[in-house]
Structure 1
């Protein structure tokens, strides 16, 4: 269970509670976005002046010169034996391969595909550790921060060529995150960005599918202006559409409606799962181990680590271009090819030819089917919900959306009833959309909550919206925000009066979440997660205080104000979901 604390800020005498939530507006010269992906990462920017004249004039910055697939580079970090930054992306891959040839790799730190740990980890905190390729551990916050800092510096170098005298504080940064990530994971990224030199005042988190939707919306408008009227239909006023963001790690799905203002509102809470393109890599490697032999592969990895890394890179590259009706050919080392004796169980689906191993089209269909069938079944279930009956279009984005297997499956399953949209360069859509979101500010006005949020209190009595609290051992869950509730970004979500009886000058009100459809009354560790404390100072010599809790939602986090009804003393905080 996450042990977290809501920071207490000095008392504010203002009577207008809503004003305490407002942040001063900053002016920026440019907006830059970092799409920090599980497999690949990228960056882009546009100046404020360019955005005024052309919303789609977005500069994409290549992070290396080796990736022929896109401007993105592999999300790989290499640190030297002292734990200091050495390289990122394809440069990190190449140098580590060189180290592996000379047996120096064991003392270095090589991290790849580590973003998924923020989805799978049960307890995300500031001190969580990551394991690198060789099994050595490093502080996760530092690993993420070093990657973000490298990309940030690349963007700033390019921006300074375009804008004379540009200061770091002149740039608004947008960092993409999956919509299905937990509150803890989102705040982890905020902290990592701060460690990388991006202040919270200059940072905006963008949910990946929402960024994709916004870019496609403006792309459609641009096409209409050039005579293509059909392009706008999916994004007209009141149109409802689904965005399926198919990344390397997760499949991220949101369903939105276009408002008269052009803004979007979420009409069903974000969903998805770990069915991304990396699953296919894992299944291909598993098949190779079954064919070649687990022990042979283990020895190959230990003794020929350079060749093993080349095999992994080959799997990623070949998988991306795999066709539904074609076999997949993988280059293997000469020594490994000599050790292979294909078992009878795989002779119909695998063949060896010189220094290549070939997986049949039928086998590749089987490998892809588990991931593809799971996601299409999930989408089918979402489209049967009463909230999504108005959906007319399905937009597929992300690197995995370029897969022939994915596109074929979605067309066969949904094309008769829905318009299926596959944008060109689907792996760049989220990144460019994030830039647009950074310029627009409140582009997404309504979201739907994924959990029930409430207070964990030892309650003596409840009268209306006043809860009387006493010291006890059993905690009762009092719901503040319901699962599936529509919440407006920036607005007050709810308020409660809590009567607290305490024997000290300090009181702590615990905040919990549960994803049960109907939350149970008593709090336990199995069904509830503690996500924060609201810590307040009570008046001296007073046995009971009535606190007015006011809660608002500001895009990626909840802000809480606790006001003592008697003294007017206010405590402003943000529920910090990360443990100390």
Structure 2
């Protein structure tokens, strides 16, 4: 990659659903470091993606990261803001995490990135006192594979509002996907001998985070290039969903009301209860019955305030058991199995699309689970040659993002996850077009294919078309880029077709009538799509990086 003369440092940001972190490297030596100093934490490679606001109507952040879960705010009744990243996703609105009515998720993201930016500045200036983080740093932000295209534009706006960047469309903020960054990291963990052995072969990267799991199959084209083989996939089945199964288990023992009341009135105790489960049960669980010793959850000792929330027959039963709840082997296994089963189905889906895949890399924080590793090895040992968990898998995305920022030529091609097209006009055809679609000019507005889902596109590959105005006196032409998961879209407003962006090309030479040609080009050079148009008659050129449609955007 060619840098502007001002770039000195590349920072890779892993903005996660439950935990976030960053890595960085100076271009003078490219040795990657991962931040391990956070508010109230030292030695941790990530901190919690959590905010706690001051008593000012969500105007200012009181605590962020780990302290947001552990410190007492000025308003004890206020819960920390969590899981707000999932509002970027395309999951149904009814399943998205709760946010207070007067807090938009764009603001929560911007506020968190602002605090993260302060930590980045501190880390960089401590190591390199002369570095100006606003002008001499290239940020690479990783996005989950299953998130919609609009998420990148929203994150760019949030990064601008967070003062990570000083111009909205600056090249100093770039994007990669989480599985792409993880694949680059895995590639760089291979020895020279391994690299030689795997050239020409494909490998699957399974990024198991807290909220999401992302997958992509890549091919090692040569020692310095990776190609994409399959469409990126993912789902909401990360490690925190095991925590949710634990909470469901507790609800059976103490009652839904008791858990709801604890969460509402004593959130710190609620979180401590989950953290104790993670530390004592979830992390050490191997899935081997002989390894497991029944865990006695002592409510009086670990979460005494929960006692005050339990009522009725459940309270009587717990009193008889001295407020101890046993977590047996099958209980814990049943907490993991629904989540792991989803991950296994995702892996099968990827491997079914490429039967030459020879290795599976497991990365992300949840990949450190011994039971997850065990289940995946049992399921796929006979299907692939090797299943590997690289060193420090929790840092894979951030460190891979740094590598990508230093050398974008590592990525040779990508597989399109969507079908792209544009709105255009063609003559009405009574045999295929409903009469209500016919315009006064005798034309119909239709979806014109530019690039189909599943197409392997080279970096900087372009797709082009030409068109003419609908009317002789038309002074401008409107171009709208459309996106869909359908492969055979016909009209711009049919189900599943969404507008991605638009711009207008001026057509001043009305004396030429309809004989005015406009050239249109779509480029997939980077993760953000660029479009170009040219008025062939007068040579005027138009260029845009699509500012994706964001409904109700208001920070």
Q: C-alpha displacement at 1:487, in angstroms? A: 1.1
Secondary structure at the aligned position of 1:281 is classed as helix
Q: Which residue in the other structure is 2:130 paired with?
A: 165
Q: C-alpha displacement at 1:504, in angstroms? A: 4.0
For 1:71-121, what per-residue CA distance to the aligned partner results, in whole angstroms no more than 9, with x for missing partners? Answer: 2111111221222122211122222xx23xx8x234x57311211121135
Secondary structure at the aligned position of 1:429 is classed as helix
* Partner residue of 1:89 out of 43, 62, 65: 65
Q: Cα distance 1:342–1:434, how it changes in 2: closer, same or farther (>3 A)?
A: farther
Q: Which residue in the other structure is 1:15 paired with?
A: none
Q: Which residue in the other structure is 1:44 paired with?
A: 23
Within a 5 Å distance, the mapping from 1:39-78 to structure 2 comes to 39-51=18-30, 55=31, 57-66=32-41, 70-78=44-52
Q: Which residue in the other structure is 2:377 paired with?
A: 411
Q: Is the 8 A contact 1:455 1:511 kept in 2?
A: yes
Aligned residues: 519
TM-score by length of 2: 0.85
* Partner residue of 1:298 out of 251, 260, 278: 260
Q: State the superposition RMSD in angstroms.
A: 3.0
The answer as to 2:533 corresponding to 1:562 is: yes
Q: Cα distance 1:187–1:316, how it changes in 2: closer, same or farther (>3 A)?
A: farther
Q: Which residue in the other structure is 1:507 paired with?
A: 477
Secondary structure at the aligned position of 2:412 is classed as strand
For 1:521-546, what per-residue CA distance to the aligned partner results, in whole angstroms no more than 9, with x for missing partners? Answer: 23434221121223221224344232
Q: Cα distance 1:352–1:259, how it changes in 2: closer, same or farther (>3 A)?
A: farther
Q: Is the 8 A contact 2:86 2:97 kept in 1?
A: no
* Partner residue of 2:454 out of 461, 476, 484: 484
The gaps in structure 2 that reach 5 residues or longer are: 430-438
Q: Which residue in the other structure is 1:336 paired with?
A: 306
For 1:390-411, what per-residue CA distance to the aligned partner results, in whole angstroms no more than 9, with x for missing partners? Answer: 2100000001111122111111
* Partner residue of 1:531 out of 500, 519, 538: 500
Q: Distance in 2 between matches of 1:160 and 1:278?
A: 34
* Partner residue of 1:283 out of 231, 240, 245: 245
Q: Distance in 1 between matches of 2:440 and 2:538?
A: 21
Secondary structure at the aligned position of 1:138 is classed as coil
Q: Distance in 1 between matches of 2:40 and 2:446?
A: 57
Q: Cα distance 1:488–1:357, how it changes in 2: closer, same or farther (>3 A)?
A: same
Within a 5 Å distance, the mapping from 1:442-461 to structure 2 comes to 442-460=409-427
Q: Which residue in the other structure is 1:552 paired with?
A: 523
Q: Distance in 2 between matches of 1:153 and 1:472?
A: 58
Q: Is the 8 A contact 1:314 1:330 kept in 2?
A: no
Q: Distance in 2 between matches of 1:431 and 1:474?
A: 47
Q: Is the 8 A contact 2:459 2:525 kept in 1?
A: yes
TM-score by length of 1: 0.82
Q: Cα distance 1:304–1:80, how it changes in 2: closer, same or farther (>3 A)?
A: closer
Q: Distance in 2 between matches of 1:565 and 1:352?
A: 85
Q: Distance in 2 between matches of 1:143 and 1:381?
A: 34
Secondary structure at the aligned position of 2:409 is classed as coil
Q: Which residue in the other structure is 2:272 paired with?
A: 310
Q: C-alpha displacement at 1:342, in angstroms? A: 8.0
Q: Which residue in the other structure is 2:147 paired with?
A: 181
Q: Is the 8 A contact 1:437 1:443 kept in 2?
A: yes
Q: Cα distance 1:391–1:305, how it changes in 2: closer, same or farther (>3 A)?
A: closer
Q: Is the 8 A contact 1:43 1:61 kept in 2?
A: no
Secondary structure at the aligned position of 1:501 is classed as coil
Q: Cα distance 1:352–1:393, how it changes in 2: closer, same or farther (>3 A)?
A: farther
Q: Which residue in the other structure is 1:10 paired with?
A: none
Q: C-alpha displacement at 1:298, in angstroms? A: 2.9
Q: Cα distance 1:491–1:26, how it changes in 2: closer, same or farther (>3 A)?
A: farther
Q: Which residue in the other structure is 1:576 paired with?
A: 547
Q: Which residue in the other structure is 1:18 paired with?
A: none
Q: Is the 8 A contact 1:44 1:61 kept in 2?
A: no
Q: C-alpha displacement at 1:241, in angstroms? A: 0.3
Q: Which residue in the other structure is 1:252 paired with?
A: 214
Q: Is the 8 A contact 1:187 1:577 kept in 2?
A: yes
* Partner residue of 1:372 out of 340, 345, 351: 340
Q: Which residue in the other structure is 1:436 paired with?
A: 403
Q: Which residue in the other structure is 2:433 paired with?
A: none
Q: Distance in 1 between matches of 2:176 and 2:136?
A: 19
Q: Distance in 1 between matches of 2:42 and 2:440?
A: 62
Secondary structure at the aligned position of 1:567 is classed as coil
Q: Distance in 2 between matches of 1:352 and 1:317?
A: 27
Runs of 4+ aligned structure 1 residues displaced above 6 Å come to 340-343
Q: Is the 8 A contact 2:13 2:140 kept in 1?
A: yes
Secondary structure at the aligned position of 1:206 is classed as strand
Q: Is the 8 A contact 2:113 2:164 kept in 1?
A: no
Q: Cα distance 1:341–1:423, how it changes in 2: closer, same or farther (>3 A)?
A: farther
Q: Distance in 1 between matches of 2:265 and 2:53?
A: 22
Q: Which residue in the other structure is 1:207 paired with?
A: 177
Q: Distance in 1 between matches of 2:284 and 2:330?
A: 16
Secondary structure at the aligned position of 1:252 is classed as strand
Q: Which residue in the other structure is 1:151 paired with?
A: 116
Q: C-alpha displacement at 1:122, in angstroms? A: 6.6
Q: Is the 8 A contact 1:334 1:355 kept in 2?
A: no
Q: Which residue in the other structure is 2:349 paired with?
A: 381
The answer as to 2:156 corresponding to 1:190 is: yes
Q: Cα distance 1:546–1:470, how it changes in 2: closer, same or farther (>3 A)?
A: farther
Secondary structure at the aligned position of 1:238 is classed as coil
Secondary structure at the aligned position of 1:475 is classed as strand
Which structure would you say has the larger RCO, counting Cα contacts within 8 Å and 6 or more residues apart? 1
Q: C-alpha displacement at 1:520, in angstroms? A: 3.5
Q: Distance in 2 between matches of 1:164 and 1:526?
A: 54
